[in-house]
Amino acid sequence: VIGVVIGKTDVRGFPDRKNIGSERYTFSFTLRDSPTDFINVSSWGTEEYVRSLSESFRVGDCVTIENPLVQTKEAEREEKFNPVTPSRYRLLLSETHSVVKTSSCYQMDTKLLSLLHLPVKDPQDYYSLGDITANGQSLDGRILNVLAAVQSVSE
């Protein structure tokens, strides 16, 4: 699978249920290879492996993933912790079988770079800040998608 990384989580550690007293580490990222297709990718393993893999690329980099495990995603659980994707699947990277290679999008395919700037939600599924302000009471308790741009950054 070849695509551009459009989102990434931090590395987290969890107690390992199989080996009491030790930890397993994980991080996830979202990979996009066309305007309509993107998928979540997760990696679990030792701290050294997961940190090294996470530090090997960043959002905006193009990556090639070899030998991932393809799993059907569990919609309820999956979408609680990861971005909602149009795919019915997710990819799992394993220390022993999977390889992630990073390269410049210019070297791979400049069309991948343009995918970074496309929203992942339906353009008709956004609320403006004005709509939220005007209709705040009726939107109470709902999850909303907001499309915004940063106008300035300061201290």
What Cα–Cα distance (Å) separates residue 85 from each residue in 20, 72, 90? 34, 12, 9
Does pLDDT of 66 surpass 90? yes
2-115 has which fold?
Answer: OB fold (Dihydrolipoamide Acetyltransferase, E2P) (2.40.50)
pLDDT band at 78 (very low <50, low <70, confident <90, very high): low
Per-residue pLDDT for 79 more than 70?
no
Query: What does the pLDDT read at residue 80?
Result: 65
Do 38 and 2 meet the contact criterion of CB atoms below 8 Å apart? Answer: no
Task: Report pLDDT for 53.
Answer: 95
Least confident range from 24-28, 43-47, 143-147: namely 143-147
Neighbours of 39 (CB within 10 A): 24
Residue 113 has pLDDT above 80, yes or no: no
Q: Are 28 and 85 in contact (CB under 8 A)?
A: no
Over range 106-128, report the average pLDDT: 74
